[in-house]
Amino acid sequence: MGHVNSDIVDRIVDLEHDYAHCIDDDRLEGWPDFFVEDCLYQIIPRENLIRKTPLPIIYCDNKNMLRDRVVILRKALIYNIHYDRHVVGNVRVREEDAGIFEVWASFIALQTDTEGETSFFASGKYEDKVVFVDGDAKFKHKIVILDTAAVPNMISTPL
Amino acid sequence: MSDGTDLRWPAADFSRVPYPVFNDPGIYAREQERVFQGPIWCYLALEAEIPEIGDFKSTFIGDTPVVVNRNNDGVIHAFVNRCAHRGTMLVREPFGTTQDHTCIYHHWCYDLAGNLIGVPFERGIRGKGGMPETFDKRNHGLQTLNVATYRGVIFGSFSHEVESLESFLDKPNMEYLDTMFNRPIEILGHWRQRIPGNWKFYFENLMDSYHAGLLHQFQTTFGIMRTTQRGGSKMDRLKRHRVLFTVYDSDDLEASDEQLLKNLGVYDDTLSLADPSMIEFRDEVGDGCAIMMMALFPSVIFQRLSNTLATRQIRPRGPNEFELNWTCFAYADDDEALRKLRLKQVNMIGPAGYVSIEDGEAGALIQRVIGRERDRYSVIEMGGLGPIEDPDSPLTEVPVRGFWRYYCHLMGYQAEGAPAWVPGEA
């Protein structure tokens, strides 16, 4: 695990930020493309990890499951009408193995409802593994560790 | 705010439900006393959550915090989570293992049966301070609950006159629990959601199969539950609980029926999943049922949806919000493929589930608009009026009326024209 050069760190930070903007701009159809085909996306309450019963709320072990989630959100699911806003920071990068980068980042997610009222939705940490495919940074793993275990109503759009 | 006693129920068969039951703080307070602390059994936990001596879990009956634990003899005890001294919350962690419970404030200490066993400086120091001569630790134990278990499911009651747990559960529910807990289980984990609606909305929702094929487009579209599948409902003798089941892939559709469903917009056959592995179904029990939902009055649901296994406990948080506490489990003898399937199917249930989050939205929409109406009523007529009997079609809300009938009995509400509750019936 050596020093990661600043160009790679910059591109990984860009990936984290672009990911947040994609969701917040309601460009959900583009969300799966932040991942490689053989990916893992999970949302796990932090309290479940502490208790060693790591049950996820969302479990997708390939990109097709992410594509399905978008189709279902658009066409076969009724959920609360809202806008998302993610704030991502405290990004740290370390090279785990040749070409696989371990990334930690903190996030806060807010939601704004049809009354125009913005409320705190969730906070947590991303524990990611990033690889470069044809020069583009992609998530191989994105594990969303959710501090806010008492989910405000529901999780519909991605964190 | 009313005192919760003055409420008009204009239909003898409980087909009209007055809106104030969903948001009146006076009614809410009365429910805590007469329903949750009344002569019934409430779900507390699964034994598998506290398998060892000294294991405890923080849980609830209504909005009252309760601790359930296993003492040194392996016996399960439950008590209100409140120090008998100054009313401090005694147990702060959701789960844990301990030899006793000591309050952080003055270190009063209780054994795992709730007896007060230690009061620091009870005799003072060198003749000064200390409790009066009249103080007797035996009179200051924790407020304990009646506890009973069935098939590894722990129930508690505030009442000392409550019927037996077996009588409360009654036949269809005991049979369902016999099947669900016929071998050792393993806890997979927990989820919590805070739904901005009244707790009774959620219970009504579970008694109502009419909505299932309409609100939940995912399960309709991908064949998990369609109104055209074989299925049914079973209620107990008092019609206060309900088991709902549907048989997987049992549609017996005529071409004209299929067209009707498409026209109604409840069935979109243009959608498909890129990864359909999640909607595979393994018939573990051999009854072919991809959905089995058992709602036990007033606050718990046992579910089997495809191969997911869970309990959902309702914790009211005031008239306008409730928390849904999910406990997901598996069988200890699962093979690897089945365990993986259960993991994939978490996407269908829980706080982000394709067939569960819509209920939260429906409840929130009721709460937003019922306002201060005192003489307006929800209408519960699907499946017919009159006697409350096991329905023969999923197109029914009849069990919802069974819920309200028993609720009114406990709350002391008399529906206009309804026969008086026969003593001994409960």
- Per residue in B32-77, pLDDT (tens digit) is 999 999 999 999 999 999 999 999 999 999 999 999 999 999 999 9
Q: Which of B187, B192, B352 sits opposite A58 (nearest CB)?
A: B352
**Which regions of chain A are under pLDDT 70?**
1-2
Report d(CA B408, CA B290) in Å as an integer.
33
Inter-chain contacts counted by CB atoms under 8 A, chains A and B:
116
pLDDT at B254: 63
Q: Which residues in chain B have their CB less than 8 angstroms from residue A61's CB?
A: 344
Q: Which of A54, A64, A79 sits opposite B275 (nearest CB)?
A: A64
Nearest-CA distance A83 → chain B (Å):
16
Interface test with B, best of A57, A75, A113 (most B CBs within 10 A): A57
> What angle do the packed helices B199-207 and B398-411 form, to 10 degrees?
140
Q: Could B361 and A154 be called an inter-chain contact, meaning their C-beta atoms sit closer than 8 Å?
A: yes
Q: Are A17 and A25 in contact (CB under 8 A)?
A: no
Give the residue from chain A lying closest to B219, CA to CA.
Answer: A76
Q: Could A64 and B94 be called an inter-chain contact, meaning their C-beta atoms sit closer than 8 Å?
A: no
Q: Could A150 and B328 be called an inter-chain contact, meaning their C-beta atoms sit closer than 8 Å?
A: no
Q: Could A45 and B191 be called an inter-chain contact, meaning their C-beta atoms sit closer than 8 Å?
A: yes
CATH code at A6-146: 3.10.450.50
Terminal CA-to-CA distance of chain B, rounded, Å?
Answer: 30
Please give the model's pTM, rounded to 2 decimal places.
Answer: 0.95
Q: Could A59 and B347 be called an inter-chain contact, meaning their C-beta atoms sit closer than 8 Å?
A: yes
Consecutive H or E run containing B359: helix B357-369
Is any Cβ of chain B less than 8 angstroms from the Cβ of A110? no
Interface test with A, best of B187, B357, B359 (most A CBs within 10 A): B357
Q: Which of A53, A77, A152 sits opposite B189 (nearest CB)?
A: A53
Is any Cβ of chain A less than 8 angstroms from the Cβ of B370? no
Exposed / middle / buried, residue B372 (Cβ in 10 Å: 0-12, 13-18, 19+)? exposed
Q: What are the domain boundaries of chain A? A: 6-146
pLDDT at B222: 76
Q: Provide φ and ψ at B351, rounded to 5°.
A: -65, -10
Q: Which of B188, B268, B351 sits opposite A75 (nearest CB)?
A: B268
Q: Which of B195, B346, B354 sits opposite A59 (nearest CB)?
A: B346
Is any Cβ of chain A less than 8 angstroms from the Cβ of B354? yes
Q: Which of A61, A71, A78 sits opposite B361 (nearest CB)?
A: A78
Q: Which amino acid is at B341?
A: L
Q: Could A150 and B194 be called an inter-chain contact, meaning their C-beta atoms sit closer than 8 Å?
A: yes
Closest among B308, B339, B313 to B326, alpha carbons compared: B313
Q: Provide φ and ψ at B375, rounded to 5°.
A: -120, 35
pLDDT at B182: 94
Give the HSE-up count for residue B178: Cα atoms under 13 Å, Cβ half-sphere. 8
Nearest-CA distance B181 → chain A (Å):
20
Task: Write down the residue that tokens 């191989």 correspond to.
Answer: A140
Q: Report CA Rg, chain A.
A: 16
Q: Could B188 and A53 be called an inter-chain contact, meaning their C-beta atoms sit closer than 8 Å?
A: yes
Nearest-CA distance A3 → chain B (Å):
36
pLDDT at B290: 86
- Per residue in B239-288, pLDDT (tens digit) is 999 999 887 766 666 655 666 666 666 566 778 899 999 888 899 888 88
Report d(CA B157, CA B165) in Å as an integer.
10
Nearest-CA distance A145 → chain B (Å):
13
pLDDT at B124: 95
Q: Are B69 and B148 in contact (CB under 8 A)?
A: no
pLDDT, mean of each 10-residue run, chain B (426 residues): 85 96 96 98 98 98 98 96 98 97 98 98 94 96 98 97 96 94 97 97 91 85 69 91 83 63 65 88 87 95 95 98 98 96 96 92 93 92 93 89 96 93 66
Pair type for strands B146-150 and B95-97: unpaired
Q: Could A76 and B271 be called an inter-chain contact, meaning their C-beta atoms sit closer than 8 Å?
A: yes
pLDDT at B1: 62
Nearest-CA distance A128 → chain B (Å):
20
Question: Could you give the ipTM of this predicted complex?
Answer: 0.95
Task: Write down the residue that tokens 């999780």 correspond to.
Answer: A155
